[in-house]
Amino acid sequence: MSTLIPRWEWRTFGADLGTAGSRLSLLARGGGPASEVQASDEIYLLSALGDANVKVRGGLVEIKGLEQTDADGLEQWRPLLKASFPLSAETVVRVFAALGLAAPALTRPRYTLEELLEELVDPEPSLRAVPVHKARTRYQVSGGIVELTNVAANGRTIWTLAVESADPAAVIAAVTELGLTAAPNLSYPRALRGLVGLGPDPVAAGGGTLRVAVIDVGTNSVKFHIGERDGAGHWQRVLDRAEVTRLGEGLRETGEITPQAQRRTLEAICAMVAEAGREGADAVVALGTMGLRIARNSDAFIAAVRERCGVGIEVIDGETEARLAYLAVEAGVGLPDGAVTVFETGGGSTQVTIGQGGRIRARFSLDVGAVRLTEQFALDRAAPRETLGAALAVIAGDLDRLDGEPPPDMLVGMGGAVTNLACVSLGMTRYDPDRVQGAILTREEVERQIALYAGVDGHDRRRIHGLQPGRESIILAGALVVLTLMDKLGKDRLSVSDRGLRHGVLIERFSV
């Protein structure tokens, strides 16, 4: 039987990982040893009473205990147990002991995973079972094994970087080479406890500044935002931009992301991750929306992004997308006490959130997007009245969930179509988010712009002041969606929000 040798470990979460991640990526591109991206789904059993590393992976429960901490703060963890399900009652007792608790009364001789969680873990207020998805890549740096991992847990996605070796000097050398000597050393149990509210948050805790990059991978464009949170908890924009990559081009016909669309979007994401590193981002979050929800080959694309760019994409559902957008509006525009409806129309879908008195009454996502409509009705060129009428009829049918909804006191729109309509209305030659934020769009102005876009082809639309490059092909479809939403909700004006999903992520996941 082989002897298990405990290793010295150092791990940090969200502290200067942008710089370290870029350095590791350069190492890999330069021919340095790097493993393939390895993904796993695990369940951590967390305790408010202890630091033992207890997890379930591949049908096994594994326990590691902290054996010692050296003068440099490195930790040495020793494997204590590895057992397959169903667990014997004796093993269950050992699991609870590692978590700092006496086992409750055991009524079974053996426990399946489901029985362990439902009957023993969930009823105990000091314990929490947390599903965790990991996508990790390993490197060799200064004789130590370096593992860069994208971790999704409790609705959040963060980075963690670990260095381990049987030789503590090799660990210190690798940490130094990566420029992380000032970063805190946190074990998985302590960091995950923070994510679920059983301890300090590994990223949001503390009174210092925090810089977070968010990449929103949409059906038509990839939006990139870096925000910095100051010691008082206020967020400031470091940069905010978007690149039109048309990820959803041809998706309606084939059900798949085309190779060309994959290449364009992959290059954009990699450039944004590299820029986040140069800007000193402490964490990078990448989210995918409608296009990645429905494409048959989205898993392969996400794997390619992990391998090439070093970031995992978290594909969120429509309700989450709507909730994050509402949070952004609430923080940016400010909402009245009465009825409010917030919508975000994008390339692949439209999210609607209906609130009343600061509370969300309903939120849903509808399969109404500018990319599909543009392809279906050839709206990337001049369009006759008959074509516009047919498109409006289809949009009205797709938005029938709003039929009978009373007019809100305030209607707020966001997304590329709305902000571009605002830019054209303001005659802007250069995008200014502060002027767009809170601008008013009237039904009359939306109708004017629809006539303007329908009268010319895509090439001539590029000459229109305020229309961002790359938007000329889908702006007409987007404007038709906005007009229909205003009609369905009985409003002849709306407030524009420049803030969106990417801002909502910062508020929900990284605010103090």
Q: Are 341 and 355 in contact (CB under 8 A)?
A: yes
Q: Are 338 and 314 in contact (CB under 8 A)?
A: no
Residues 6+ apart with CB under 8 A from 438: 333, 495, 496, 497
CA 499 – CA 311 distance, rounded (Å)? 23
Alpha helices in 35-177 (DSSP H): 89-98, 113-115, 168-177
Taking residues 120-126, what's their average pLDDT?
Answer: 90
**Strand, helix or coil at 15?**
coil
Taking residues 418-446, what's their average pLDDT?
Answer: 93
Please calculate the CA angle 34-38-42 and round it to the nearest 5 degrees.
140
501 pLDDT higher than 50: yes
The mean-pLDDT minimum among 80-94, 142-156, 175-189, 409-423 falls in 142-156
Among candidate residues 407, 364, 419, 369, the one with its CA nearest the CA of residue 391:
369
Report how far apart, in Å, the C-alpha atoms of 388 and of each of 57, 454, 492 are: 54, 8, 20
**pLDDT tens-digit series, residues 455-495:** 998 889 999 999 988 889 999 999 999 999 999 999 999 99
Q: Given pLDDT bands bounded at 50, 70 and 90, which one contains residue 16?
A: very low
CA 438 – CA 332 distance, rounded (Å)? 9
**pLDDT tens-digit series, residues 248-262:** 888 878 999 999 999
CA 92 – CA 501 distance, rounded (Å)? 43
pLDDT of residue 202: 64
| CB-facing half-sphere around the CA of 40: CA atoms within 13 A | 13
pLDDT of residue 411: 95
pTM: 0.59
The two tokens of residue 461 are 């639309």
Q: Given pLDDT bands bounded at 50, 70 and 90, which one contains residue 298?
A: very high
Alpha helices in 379-432 (DSSP H): 385-398, 416-426
Residue ranges of domains in the chain: 7-195, 210-315, 329-510
Please calculate the CA angle 442-443-449 and round it to the nearest 5 degrees.
95
DSSP tag of 119: I
pLDDT of residue 42: 93
pLDDT of residue 406: 94
Side chain identity at 68, as an amino acid letter?
Q
Listed in order, strand segments (DSSP E) in 292-426 are: 313-315, 339-345, 350-356, 359-366, 410-414
In this structure, the dihedral spanned by the alpha carbons of residues 27, 30, 33 and 35, taken in order and rounded to 10 degrees, is 80
Q: Given pLDDT bands bounded at 50, 70 and 90, which one contains residue 201?
A: low
CA 13 – CA 164 distance, rounded (Å)? 15
Among candidate residues 244, 368, 144, 110, the one with its CA nearest the CA of residue 119:
110
Helix (H) or strand (E) holding 453: helix 443-454
**Strand, helix or coil at 365?**
strand
DSSP 234-296: -EEEEEEEEEE--TTTTHHHHSS--HHHHHHHHHHHHHHHHHHHHTT-SEEEEEE-HHHHH-T
22 pLDDT higher than 80: no
Q: Alpha-carbon torsion 273, 276, 278, 283, what sign?
A: negative
392 pLDDT higher than 70: yes
**pLDDT tens-digit series, residues 338-352:** 899 999 888 888 989
What's the CATH fold of domain 7-195?
Hypothetical Protein Pfu-838710-001 (2.40.320)
Q: What is the percent of the chain with per-residue pLDDT over 90, rounded to a whole number?
A: 43
The mean-pLDDT minimum among 56-70, 239-253, 323-337, 487-501 falls in 323-337
pLDDT of residue 331: 79
- The domain made up of 329-510 is a member of CATH 3.30.420.150: yes
Q: Check residues 375 and 30 and name the one with the higher pLDDT.
A: 375
Q: Check residues 190 and 440 and name the one with the higher pLDDT.
A: 440
**pLDDT tens-digit series, residues 164-193:** 888 888 888 888 887 777 778 888 888 888
Q: Are 82 and 56 in contact (CB under 8 A)?
A: no
CATH topology identical between 210-315 and 329-510: yes
Averaged pLDDT of the chain: 86
pLDDT of residue 310: 79
Q: Given pLDDT bands bounded at 50, 70 and 90, which one contains residue 142?
A: low
DSSP tag of 401: G
pLDDT of residue 275: 92
CATH class in words for 210-315: alpha beta
